[in-house]
Structure 1
């Protein structure tokens, strides 16, 4: 019995030494260290098959959509811009495909902002909402905003 325990201890020590860890830590310490490594944390985050970068792009997209009331195209451009977030196209597309946003409500909020702060006419607001140099909302989203904008 003593021989087998000594042999098992020696094997465990050699296995730990082979992993690049000191043999003075207990196996439970090693397990705790292993579970806290960046590689393992990344593996945990990727268990659902979505990379950390894609998740980050989605989080940014949600922020732009909810706090800044941006359009889908505007969010995508911000995510991929060399002057913005610089996400790869695939990560930005994942974010756009998965963001939970009410684009009509965003268009309406932008329309209200233009009307109140800049005293713009409804037609000027519509142009600003749909402009490729402006907000980049779809014509349908802009129409919803104009129809629901107060008098």
Structure 2
């Protein structure tokens, strides 16, 4: 039994030579019978293997970096046209503003004052700008002001409607008539209806 166990142990520690086929101990570098090197290619050429591993790592790293660089470059390409577009818009707005006569700019500021502080309608603001008893702006300047003012006219109509209800106790029908009247506020029917619909 001892001999059998010894034989198993020895057989587990032995292998065959790749060249001559005779039994040799596992892990030896060369066959004791024919002298053939038993190591695989990579073990026989450790320096070459090390260089090859380094080259592969460098290639993988550079490819990853290239992808990141490409992404950043592409992001910049996307951002750059937008920046150019925004800059061009600002420049165009500035040029357009520079070409506007001072009287037109003054009419726009005055229109904003009337619309924001007195809750006037678009038609009423225009009339005030050109009126002989008002601001006396030329029609071109007044029209420029009306075309370029940024006001929510429906909200102005609502504010004016609330004033009539709160201070004069007017009915909704009377408020509506006053809002659309040529001798009143001169709001459009749509604006007046919005105001009446939103009165509390």
- TM-score, normalised by the number of residues in structure 2: 0.52
TM-superposed deviation, 1:48: 1.7
Matches within 5 A, 1:22-101: 48-101=98-151
Say if 2:147 is the partner of 1:108.
no
- TM-score, normalised by the number of residues in structure 1: 0.68
Distance 1:47 1:71 in 2: 25
Aligned counterpart, 2:180:
130
Distance 2:198 2:161 in 1: 9
* Structure 1 segments (4+ residues) deviating >4 Å: none
Q: Relative contact order (C-alpha < 8 Å, sep 6+): which is higher?
A: 1
Per-residue CA deviations over 1:22-79 (Å, capped at 9, x if unaligned) read xxxxxxxxxxxxxxxxxxxxxxx99621000000000000000100000000000000
Kindly report the root-mean-square deviation, in angstroms, between the aligned alpha carbons of the 2 structures: 1.7
CA contact (8 A) 1:80 1:89 kept: yes
Change (3 A) 1:50 1:125: same
Distance 1:46 1:103 in 2: 25
Gaps in structure 1 of 5+ consecutive residues: 1-44
Distance 1:51 1:116 in 2: 41
